[in-house]
Amino acid sequence: MSRTALRICPLCEATCGLTLTLDGPRVTAARGDRDDVFSQGFICPKGASFGAVDADPDRLRAPLVRRDGELREASWEEAFDAVAAGLAPVVERHGPHAVGVVLGNPNVHTVAGGLYPSVLLAALGTRSVFTASTVDQMPKHVSSGLLFGDANAIPVPDLDRTDHLLLIGANPLESNGSLCTAPDFPGRLKALRARGGTLTVIDPRRTRTAKLADRHVPIRPGTDALLLAAVAHVLFAEGLTDLGVLAPHVEGVSELRAALRDFTPEAVAAACDVDAATTRALARELAAAPTAAVYGRIGSCTVPHGTLASWLVDVLNTLTGNLDRPGGALFPQAATDKSPRPAGPGRGFALGRWHSRVSGHPEAKGELPLSALAEEIDTATAEGEPVRALVAIAANPVLSAPDGARLDKALGSLDFMVSVDPYLNETSRHAHVVLPPPPPAQSPHHDFALNTLAVRHQVRYTRPAVPLEPGRPAETEILARLILAATGRHGTDPGAVDATVIAQTLGKAVTEPHSPAYGRDPRALAALLTGADGPERRLDLMLRLGPYGDGFGVRPDGLTLEKLLAQPHGIDLGPLRPRLPQPLKTRSGKVELLPGPIAGDLPRLRRALAERPAGLVLIGRRHLRSNNSWMHNIPALTGGSNRCTLHLHPEDAARLGVADGAVVRVKGAGGEVTVPAEVTDAVRPGVVSLPHGWGHDRPGTRLAHAALDPGVNVNQLLDGSLLDPLSGNAVLNGVPVALDTTP
């Protein structure tokens, strides 16, 4: 007897609602949920493969514990005993910073990842925190922190209403969008064109997204900050700035004008390889559009001037009056956001409150660069203890971070490592304990993180589609028990973690005049929470205290978990709305258009005006049927055009004597890889492209299908030394490489 169940897809940032067909515990089909309030039936090939992802035979079903050097299956009790026994002595002997934590991308796609990592970090008190953010969007957090006083206040383009979208270094037709949660991003771009709007794409490759555009600017990699500075320059020079109703909320406009004086279209033309007329046209089109949104993603972040480029994206939104207006770029307000405090000056955003031990990199948002993880483990200094134990949750940095070979070796030298991961892969193979979460069909879903970046306000929650296999803990329970084991409370009821968080949250809320809980009895409020378990009660708490919540009865029409459960296709909460000045937490209470650290980094950008790459530079690419490093084990998602090849322009191929399909050696600062060339004019001359997340040929992993066609690890070409200085973000695009065609 088959049945159906609803499940929000966790496989990318688009958060599509799926209808799963189930035969017992097996997912036999997945289609788009036509009644989903946000995705309205959209699905992509990855979502359609949900059943195959869920049922991958290589998923671990029991914990692994290392005994006599070998990872062997063990009971959950034994596994958590081993975690407690492994971590406690490291903290005792070497202090909290000797325990490192690595958080990977899927934490934004799980309920467990939304609720527990912050509790773990607070409990450990370690400064050795590394996440996928510093190989991704940290520059955007830093620019938002500096401009708006809140690193998480990221404006998203109002895709469904804008008249003009300037899209920089993003390829949503393959990625399905990022820092802009929008199911059916491709359809929304087509709708923009259909309603008479225009799309401009800045990308060194002629991507599927670029092919859809009215204008494609094939920029030289790594130079977007120069181009955007010149666009801002033109807005000033031609009198095209118009802040409109934003003006009273913005400071630093004239200082900005002066700071950008040198960045004329002519001055940036050679470095960007974009002629001055095109730059002027970009500025004029942006200013002339009734509404417009500037949006930058991976290609604008993972570059040497990532923070400056991210800052300039919002500078352009501000100067054209498009920040915080419908059709422009707005600040979403998620249902689980904190209840909004009144507008007014805030504490501002601090960078570099501490530094990494070996290279002295400044922290950003409480994190150190993932690029520095290997050296923080393998290098002793007088400054303090190296990292000796590691907690990795949903992370595969051996493939996703620079210089995987060095990190691979460093991980092998740790006193203790625990991985929360469904696979025995390139990273988890070094763990002393592997704690596998259940597959997605057995897990609940709510998008704590991605709803704060969504193009429409909505809220959805799906309970597990299939009951947990007997004896298997949910990932929420795994993380709660990990927290207890890591902090000397091994064996305590994991529900205590949730109860403590609830008590602390309510204890604070009752003291805040803007909270609906103000002045009330926290224990009485806690008793009102509903939900089948601790994580559900925490979701209920966040919903009820949140901007659309019932405030525990203060707003009887407001949201509660019960109301959400009664709407399995979700609840629509309307389009994005102007919110300024409320989200601003800068010391001035205004948008600070030229923050000090940014001004301090402009001389480096000015020097870049004269830089020209001598040889080839490397950039990445994504394929619709991939997801970073962990989906190459699914036969339905591999093969065809989803291959690890080096894209190379025909002119470069001819010059270097490389035939299509020939195997070439690519050399970078961190090492070399050997890979087949694919000659294509989709990349611009002077640029080669390799996808990331490949290189599944290391021993001791259990990824049978991925190992058949392992590909190579592009990040081996990097040595980890190239960073965006303000954010610590790795430079993954625009990296100098050389090709060697001798066999």
Ligand X SMILES: Nc1nc2c(c(=O)[nH]1)N[C@H]1C(S)=C(S)[C@@H](COP(=O)(O)OP(=O)(O)OC[C@H]3O[C@@H](n4cnc5c(=O)[nH]c(N)nc54)[C@H](O)[C@@H]3O)O[C@H]1N2
Tokens 């974009």 belong to residue: 274
> For ligand X, which stretch binds (CB under 6 A), given 100-108, 355-363, 586-594, 666-674?
100-108
- Residue 561 CA to residue 584 CA, distance in Å, equals 29
By the 10 Å C-beta count (0-12 exposed, 13-18 middle, 19+ buried), 45 is classed as exposed
User: Min. distance of Cβ 445 from Mo ion in angstroms?
Assistant: 19
Return the structure tokens found at 674: 């050997």
Residues 599-658 that bind ligand X (CB under 6 A): 619-624, 626-630
Q: Which does 9 bind (CB under 5 to 8 A by kind): ligand X, ligand SF4, Mo ion, none?
A: ligand SF4
User: Min. distance of Cβ 48 from ligand SF4 in angstroms?
Assistant: 7
Of 418, 340, 402, 385, give the one whose Cα is nearest residue 84.
418
Minimal CB distance residue for ligand SF4: 47
Q: What is the three-state SS of 650-715?
A: HHHHHHHCCCCCCEEEEEECCEEEEEEEEECCCECCCEEECCCCCCCCCCCCCCHHHHHCCCCCHH
Considering the complex, state which of residue 14 and residue 231 has its C-beta at the smaller distance from ligand SF4: 14
Considering the complex, state which of residue 43 and residue 91 has its C-beta at the smaller distance from ligand SF4: 43
Residues 378-397 that bind ligand X (CB under 6 A): 393-397
Considering the complex, state which of residue 131 and residue 451 has its C-beta at the smaller distance from Mo ion: 131
**What are residue 142's phi and psi, to 5 degrees?**
-65, -45
User: Min. distance of Cβ 399 from Mo ion in angstroms?
Assistant: 13
Interacting residue ranges for ligand SF4, rule: CB under 6 A: 9, 11-12, 14-16, 43-44, 46-47, 176, 183
Using the CB atoms, write b or e for 316-350: b if 16+ within 10 Å: bbbbbbbbbbebbbbbbbbbbbbbeeeeeebeebe
By the 10 Å C-beta count (0-12 exposed, 13-18 middle, 19+ buried), 639 is classed as exposed
Coil/strand/helix, residue 476: helix
Q: In this structure, what DSSP letter does residue 367 have?
A: B
> Which listed residue (632, 649, 692, 696) binds ligand X by CB under 6 A?
692
Residue 738 one-letter amino acid: A
Question: Is the Cβ–Cβ distance between 228 and 307 less than 8 Å?
Answer: no
Coil/strand/helix, residue 129: strand
User: Min. distance of Cβ 306 from ligand X in angstroms?
Assistant: 9
Tokens 């002595």 belong to residue: 89
Considering the complex, state which of residue 10 and residue 547 has its C-beta at the smaller distance from ligand SF4: 10
Return the structure tokens found at 473: 């803990």
Q: Which does 47 bind (CB under 5 to 8 A by kind): ligand X, Mo ion, ligand SF4, none?
A: ligand SF4
Query: Directed axis angle between helix 138-148 and helix 596-608, to 10°?
Result: 130
Considering the complex, state which of residue 127 and residue 625 has its C-beta at the smaller distance from ligand SF4: 625
Considering the complex, state which of residue 200 and residue 505 has its C-beta at the smaller distance from ligand X: 200
Any alpha helices (H) in 613-656, and if so which ranges? 650-656
Q: Which does 224 bind (CB under 5 to 8 A by kind): ligand SF4, Mo ion, ligand X, none?
A: ligand X
Contacts of residue 215, defined as CB under 8 A and 6 or more positions apart, other chains included, come to 198, 199, 200, 201, 281, 282, 285
Q: Which does 535 bind (CB under 5 to 8 A by kind): Mo ion, ligand X, ligand SF4, none?
A: none
> For ligand X, which stretch binds (CB under 6 A), given 104-112, 257-265, 376-384, 458-466?
104-112
Considering the complex, state which of residue 446 and residue 684 has its C-beta at the smaller distance from ligand SF4: 446
Minimal CB distance residue for ligand X: 299
Handedness of CA 321, 212, 691, 47 (dihedral sign): positive
Q: Which does 11 bind (CB under 5 to 8 A by kind): ligand X, ligand SF4, Mo ion, none?
A: ligand SF4
Asked if 550 is part of the footprint of Mo ion (rule: CB under 5 A), the reply reads no
Considering the complex, state which of residue 114 and residue 551 has its C-beta at the smaller distance from Mo ion: 114
Q: Which does 693 bind (CB under 5 to 8 A by kind): Mo ion, ligand SF4, ligand X, none?
A: ligand X
Count residues contacting ligand X (CB under 6 A)? 63
Considering the complex, state which of residue 436 and residue 581 has its C-beta at the smaller distance from ligand X: 436
> Which listed residue (90, 163, 733, 737) binds ligand X by CB under 6 A?
733
Q: Which does 43 bind (CB under 5 to 8 A by kind): Mo ion, ligand SF4, ligand X, none?
A: ligand SF4
Q: In this structure, what DSSP letter does residue 416 have?
A: E
Q: Which long-range contacts (CB under 8 A, 24 or more apart) does 260-264 make?
A: 260/229, 260/232, 260/233, 260/236, 261/233, 262/606, 262/609, 263/226, 263/229, 263/230, 263/232, 263/233, 263/605, 263/606, 263/609, 264/230, 264/233, 264/237
Considering the complex, state which of residue 140 and residue 388 has its C-beta at the smaller distance from Mo ion: 140
Longest Cα–Cα distance in the chain = 76
Q: Which does 121 bind (CB under 5 to 8 A by kind): ligand X, ligand SF4, Mo ion, none?
A: none
User: Min. distance of Cβ 340 from ligand X in angstroms?
Assistant: 28
Contacts of residue 494, defined as CB under 8 A and 6 or more positions apart, other chains included, come to 477, 480, 481, 484, 534
Q: Which does 421 bind (CB under 5 to 8 A by kind): ligand SF4, Mo ion, ligand X, none?
A: ligand X
- In order of 49, 70, 665, the CA distances from 707 in angstroms are 20, 21, 21
User: Min. distance of Cβ 252 from ligand X in angstroms?
Assistant: 26
Considering the complex, state which of residue 135 and residue 485 has its C-beta at the smaller distance from Mo ion: 135
Considering the complex, state which of residue 43 and residue 287 has its C-beta at the smaller distance from ligand SF4: 43
> For ligand X, which stretch binds (CB under 6 A), given 295-303, 345-353, 458-466, 571-579?
295-303
Residues 351-380 that bind ligand X (CB under 6 A): none
Residues 124-143 that bind ligand X (CB under 6 A): 132, 135-136
Considering the complex, state which of residue 183 and residue 534 has its C-beta at the smaller distance from ligand SF4: 183
User: Min. distance of Cβ 342 from ligand X in angstroms?
Assistant: 34
Give the containing element (helix H, strand E) for 30: strand 26-32
Residues 112-141 that bind Mo ion (CB under 5 A): 136
Give the count of beta carbons closer than 10 Å to the beta carbon of residue 654.
Answer: 11
Count residues contacting Mo ion (CB under 5 A)? 1
Site string for ligand X, 151-190 (x = CB under 6 A): -----------------xxxxx-xxx-x------------
- Residue 676 CA to residue 663 CA, distance in Å, equals 4
Return the structure tokens found at 267: 């001055």
What is the secondary structure of 290-339 as a DSSP string? Answer: SS-EEEE-HHHHSSTTHHHHHHHHHHHHHHTT-BTSTTSEE----TTSPP
Site string for ligand X, 223-242 (x = CB under 6 A): -x------------------
Residue 420 one-letter amino acid: V
Tell me which residues touch ligand X (CB under 6 A). Answer: 12-13, 104-106, 110, 132, 135-136, 168-172, 174-176, 178, 202-205, 207, 219, 221-222, 224, 297-300, 303, 393-397, 400, 420-423, 425, 437, 475, 619-624, 626-630, 692-693, 714-715, 732-734
Tell me which residues touch Mo ion (CB under 5 A). Answer: 136
